[in-house]
Amino acid sequence: MATALSAPPRTKAPGPSNTTTPRLFAMIPVLLAALLVYFPSARQHLFGSHDAHPTVRIKQGIVVGKLLDDGKIPAPVEGFLGIPYALPPINDLRFRPAVPVPKGNGTLEAFYMGPRCPGKQMVPFLEDSLLGPDAESEDCLTINVFRPHGHDTSRAKLPVSVLIPGGAFNRGAARMHNTYTMLAHSPEPFVAVSMQYRIGVFGGLNTELTEKEGLLNLGLRDMYAALEWVQENIADFGGDPDDVTVMGLSAAAHGIGHFIMDAKQPKKLFHKAIMDSGAHTARTIHSPSSALNTQHFRDFLDLTPCGHYKDLGDPDILGCLRALSSETVDRAGKDVFARSEPSVRWAWQPVLDGHIISRRPLDAWKSGNWNKVPMLTGSTHNEGANYVPKTANASADFIDFFSTLLPHLTKSELAELEALYPDPATDPTSPYADQMLATLGAGAQYRRIEAAYGHYAYTCPVRQTAIWGSSNSPPDPPVFLYHWVLNRTALLGAVHGDQMRYQTYNSEVRGISAAQDEVSGKFHAYCVSFITKGDPSALKKGRFAAREEWTPWKDGRPSTMVLGEGNDERAGGTGKGTAAQMQDYTWGEEQCNFWWRVSERWED
């Protein structure tokens, strides 16, 4: 009897958090052969791509998918869900690099997404019964493949997108992003992929000990393992391994940025990149031995039965941690992350590792030696809204927040920072003065801190990608920049991650109004055009074929596609705004110059 995809039986990970039922099953090849001989029509039923259960043979075995149709998409999509790209990272494989599933002849019923990786979730997941029930488990290294229904894989191969979910490297899952809806509404066919990787402490236990053991940046390495799986198998689904667009929001965009800088890649794993609200120059990239990482590791151990180890370099620590239940490790990792949240000096972040991140991010840009791929990137207007203290009220709260977040800043730089973001308590003309904040439950300093943090962590690093990515030599691929300003709530504005539901043309946003439909439809059209043509304006099909031309950032000119400007319908207003408009957009330029200048000293 063959086991599915040649993987060993999936043993249950220690602890009650692993509640998934086995998805792999064995079959008897003789019975299948007899069925095909005596019932020829069964061949089409079992293996035909026009049936409700399309089947694909990959190097690891046979994958049986299903049709996805929620009644809100133009045509059904074929989905192959929850395919393991690595062995379960449990027991002795916990805190180790992903181990690829070996070749074989087993069969997998790929009908539902696999469980998400343990993490401190924040963004609501899609409520879609077609994807299967939501669950959490360490056994989470899975990939999902979606393709147009009835696609003939013997014909020309289709472009491929690979969605990496974001979430501060501590949260996120494939079911955050409605990947099959994005594909279904595209006027040009492609093969869409989504994947999952280890997050939180399971993917980011980056310390001197794990550096010594060669175990740094496991979450990023999982992403690479998934991209390698795509290179190996996507042609069997009808996709072109030489035309892959990698895409993701927030932490995923940070990771993609690091991959673009990783000039040591032995094989080109992607050829275009969409990076939403994130860049590899965002925040500080520490060394594994930094004081911050050391403190996080110490705090983590003290929350587990392994806290008796006093020497943080003792290799027996890893054996102790591998013997613990999944729930114990997960709870301790989440507690440490929760402690780090108020300061936004988050735990379990990527570090300099000598491999994927071999150089400081800005040094990598300056070298000119990076993977030259076309990029589409952008940020929202209120990136910091969900991450800063909403009750900050006193003027001193502003300086306290940034002194804690960035202890490298000198007194003169803090004074300059205060001047760049005028205090609403002393300057009634400050753009951050808002008399409505009290009625919305926020402090008087909230908008000021939000703007400064949003610039520092997202907007300015994203703009840095446009500047450095287009400033080396004329033959370099283009960079397309956007700014998302559609106002979703009266307090938060255009929040980090708001653009995701619009990008996939989700019914929950396009059905709000005609104006919302237009913003979503045009943004979706730009993105699928980039995926299929390498240019957001090249695809001239579908309802939104007549959208405005999106020109790349060039020669320092801040050519930016501004999306949803003036639309405040969801925030209780009546403004319809403009769905999409090219502008020489200089918002935040002075502030970004400050952040770029001082950021060169932050890596330790």
Numbers of helices and strands, H then E, in the chain: 19, 15
Q: What is the Cα 484 distance to its own chain's centre?
A: 17
Q: What angle do CA 272, 602, 260 make, to 5 degrees?
A: 10
For residues 209 and 289, give the distance between their C-alpha atoms in angstroms, rounded to a whole number. Answer: 9
**Annotated catalytic sites, by residue?**
250
Strands (E), 250-374: 272-276
> 90 Cβ partners below 8 Å, 6+ apart?
11, 13, 14, 18, 138, 139, 326
For residues 432 and 419, give the distance between their C-alpha atoms in angstroms, rounded to a whole number. Answer: 12
For residues 50 and 344, give the distance between their C-alpha atoms in angstroms, rounded to a whole number. Answer: 50
Encoded amino acid at 486, one letter: L
Q: CA distances (Å), 238 to each of 105, 109, 181, 530, in order?
A: 20, 19, 19, 19
Burial readout 103-129 (b: 16 or more C-beta within 10 A, e: otherwise)? ebebbbbbbbbbbbbbbbbebebbeee
Position of tokens 């943080």? 312
Encoded amino acid at 423, one letter: D
**68 close to 79: Cβ distance less than 8 angstroms:** yes
For residues 500 and 175, give the distance between their C-alpha atoms in angstroms, rounded to a whole number. Answer: 12
Closest CA to 258 of 181, 370, 335: 370
> 250 Cβ partners below 8 Å, 6+ apart?
166, 167, 168, 172, 276, 277, 278, 496, 497
Encoded amino acid at 13, one letter: A
Compute and round to an integer the Cα radius of gyration of the chain: 24
